[in-house]
Amino acid sequence: MTEFESIDIDKSGIIDVEGREQNGRELELSLRQGSFEVTQMDRD
């Protein structure tokens, strides 16, 4: 991810990051706070 559009953290510790890849495609990641394990990844 080369550009960040938004970062949100919910009460359960899930971090949602939205942004763009180097080629301009949208990318959404969900991570678990503390371990930073990717729990979900979507490309548009």
pLDDT value of residue 43: 92
pLDDT value of residue 44: 82
pLDDT value of residue 19: 97
pTM of model > 0.85 = no
pLDDT in tens, 1-44: 899 999 999 999 999 999 999 999 999 999 999 988 899 999 98
For the chain, what is the domain count? 1
DSSP string across 1-40 = --EEEEEEE-TTSEEEEEEE-TTS-EEEEEEETTTTEEEE
Q: Which domain holds residue 21?
A: 3-43
